A and B are shown apart, each in its own frame.
Chain A
Amino acid sequence: DGGITQSPKYLFRKEGQNVTLSCEQNLNHDAMYWYRQDPGQGLRLIYYSQIVNDFQKGDIAEGYSVSREKKESFPLTVTSAQKNPTAFYLCASSPQEGADTEAFFGQGTRLTVV
């Protein structure tokens, strides 16, 4: 059945290492998003993509990179330049246009720097 899948659920990274978080959707949605959530806080937009091979920076893009080579996939790389990467990361997708702009979220990846 259709949905959006993030993996892994938990991820541990050593300081100075890059790590890539996976996000896959089979909803045929054009738009995809990455958010970061810190404890007790709301979601902050990292990157978003409205179409394949195109993406835009959100409010906190520094230290992160993304790619959108396929419609179904929008991986997020947390680079060593991200000074405080420990957080809960959420991926979402939504239709580009149409009658319904509801966004669907994955279950999240909890990243911890050790």
Chain B
Amino acid sequence: LAKTTQPISMDSYEGQEVNITCSHNNIATNDYITWYQQFPSQGPRFIIQGYKTKVTNEVASLFIPADRKSSTLSLPRVSLSDTAVYYCLLSRRSSASKIIFGSGTRLSIRP
């Protein structure tokens, strides 16, 4: 699986929209883009997954441009409880290949 690159850390304030961008220049045709959230001393939790264009669920939106070389996780109106580490991964639906995590983005939300 191709490597992903994302900012080490980000800061924002309650009520703001936060956008975290992930680069994956060598993404393969059958790779999907998946984001996880991890709170301290807990296991990561799935947030959203997409292949192209835009995906939205009750938690976040995922924007993927036509070339798929990057993606942006958008968290609307963040709260203090959104303070966590966010990981961007590439995954393949055709088989359960190993799931590789990068260093993630440490998001800090301030009052």
Contacts and interface: CB of A to CB of B under 8 A. Distances in A.
A95 B96 contact: yes
Given A42-B87, A42-B103, A45-B100, A97 B94 contact: yes
Nearest to B102: A42
Interface residues of A, number: 33
A42 B104 contact: yes
A41 B93 contact: no
Contact of B99 (A94, A99, A100, A110): A94
A16 to B, nearest CB: 27
Nearest to A51: B96
A74 B91 CA distance: 22
B43 A106 contact: yes
A105 B44 contact: yes
B42 interface: yes
A105 B99 CA distance: 12
Given A42-B87, A108-B42, A110-B41, A101 B92 contact: yes
**B36, B94, B96, B99: most-surrounded residue (chain A CB, <10 A):** B96
By secondary structure, the B interface counts as: loop
A34 to B, nearest CB: 11
B96 A31 contact: yes
B28 to A, nearest CB: 14
Contact of B41 (A48, A59, A88, A105): A88
Given A101-B91, A106-B43, 14 more contacts: A31-B96, A42-B85, A42-B102, A42-B104, A43-B101, A90-B44, A96-B95, A97-B96, A101-B96, A103-B46, A104-B46, A105-B42, A105-B43, A108-B42
15 contacts: A42-B103, A44-B101, A45-B99, A45-B101, A59-B100, A88-B41, A90-B44, A92-B99, A96-B96, A97-B95, A98-B93, A101-B34, A101-B93, A102-B46, A103-B36
Interface of A: 30-31, 33, 35, 41-45, 48, 50, 56, 58-59, 88, 90, 92, 94-108, 110
